Amino acid sequence: MAKVDDLDLKILSELSNDASISVPKLSEKININSSVVYSRIKRLLKQKLIHRYTIDVNDKELGTTKIKIKTYYELTKPKIWYLLVFTAFGTAITASNIYNIEISIATWALMLFGVAAGSASANTLTNYHDRDIDEVMERTKGRPIPSKRIFPAEKARDFGLVLAAISIACAFGIAFTTSFWNGVWCGIFMVFGLADNILIYSHALKRKSQLNIILGGFSGGAPAMIGYAAVTLTGLWDFGLIMAGLVFIWIPMHIWALTLHFRDDYQKVKVPMLTAVLSEKTSARVIAATTVMMVVFSVVPFFLTTDTGEPVMGDIYLLFDNRYWGTGNG
């Protein structure tokens, strides 16, 4: 027997009263987005749970293509990959300033688009894997997969795999715009980031260990390493690693604060996030400790020196450098 939920029952109930009601009117009546209602009706028709229904708004009028693009965009969690793209941009600018290396437009394009595609891929594939618990949690049940706006869920999986392939190709492609080993290392960091986030965090640890986000957080530093390696390999394992480390330290702190706020949700689906299993008092202390750790760690770059003994941070003024903001005094 086909599986139905409360929303399906609402739609079926309304259709039993008026089988010719339009999608916009139906969505307004049950207070659900029209794109969600439309996709549910198509699924119910496919499952033969609806045998007679007149959809008097066709795909073009409803703007289904536009809605689908927006839905897949939402699936990638853009707020997350915006931040990760920015970290790659920041480390690339920093490396460029330290070593006076000009970054070509082609390198910028491959690096930024590759990081965007890779981060979007990881978010999409973890959403696909977590679709069962997302249906239960209040915070996540409205996401594209659990809300059935993308159905079947395998469409999301395939989309994520395509994005992963694009991201890896872009990362290794940097070998053609800089040097061979720059591209190789960018590709390695991209593959590592995807594997850590999807396989280590989502599949292996998220539902089993309180340390899930710590070991899974390594992937957050990958975009910073990619941004740095796309420019130069000099200082990659000291200054580059420190900048990636800042992101790595920030991720658990951010996630733990989030899970503390939604601890009931995580307890409901038995996901042992650290701040969902500890007391609120202990959780607050853990978050405070990691915040202090990040602040202390952020000072480390100011003590690093180049091979010539010059301070690494000495000539970097991202906010006030005259090369970016002009030389005027007024």
185, part of any domain: yes
The rounded distance, in Å, linking the Cα atoms of 320 and 97 is 13
Residue that terminates a domain, selected from 40, 62, 84: 62
Q: How many domains does the chain have?
A: 2
Model confidence, pTM: 0.78
DSSP state of 278: S
Do residues 224 and 87 lie in contact, with contact meaning Cβ atoms separated by under 8 Å?
Answer: yes
261, part of any domain: yes
Q: Could you list the residue range(s) of the whole structural domain that residue 34 is in? A: 6-62
Same-domain status, 27 and 130: no
256: CATH? 1.10.357.140
| Alpha carbon separation from 296 to 86, 157, 252, 302 (Å, rounded) | 22, 40, 16, 11
27: CATH? 1.10.10.10
**Beta carbons within 10 angstroms of residue 277's beta carbon:** 16
For 131-146, give one letter per residue: b (16+ CB within 10 A) or e: bebbbebeebeebbbb
Burial category of 328 from C-beta neighbours within 10 Å (exposed 0-12, middle 13-18, buried 19 and up): exposed
Same-domain status, 134 and 33: no
The rounded distance, in Å, linking the Cα atoms of 195 and 207 is 17
- Nearest Cα to Cα of residue 239 among 305, 292, 148: 305
Same-domain status, 201 and 251: yes
- The pLDDT profile of the chain, 330 residues, written as one tens digit per residue, is 557 788 888 888 887 777 667 777 788 888 888 778 877 887 777 777 765 444 433 444 444 555 578 889 999 999 999 999 999 999 999 999 988 999 999 999 999 999 999 999 999 999 999 999 999 998 898 899 988 888 889 999 999 999 999 999 999 999 999 999 999 999 999 999 999 999 999 999 999 999 999 999 999 999 999 999 999 999 999 889 999 999 999 999 989 999 998 999 999 999 999 999 999 999 999 999 999 999 998 888 878 777 777 777 664 444 444 444 444 444
Same-domain status, 270 and 122: yes
For tokens 């070998």, what's the residue?
A: 175
- Nearest Cα to Cα of residue 129 among 71, 200, 211, 214: 200
**Helix, strand and coil in the chain, % to nearest 5:** 70, 0, 30
258, part of any domain: yes
For tokens 């599949």, what's the residue?
A: 203
What is the predicted pLDDT for the residue at 245?
A: 94
| Alpha carbon separation from 239 to 1, 100, 294, 323 (Å, rounded) | 58, 15, 15, 23
76, part of any domain: yes
| Alpha carbon separation from 191 to 164, 169, 173, 259 (Å, rounded) | 9, 10, 13, 27
Do residues 230 and 178 lie in contact, with contact meaning Cβ atoms separated by under 8 Å?
Answer: yes
Do residues 271 and 207 lie in contact, with contact meaning Cβ atoms separated by under 8 Å?
Answer: yes
What is the predicted pLDDT for the residue at 208?
A: 95
119, part of any domain: yes
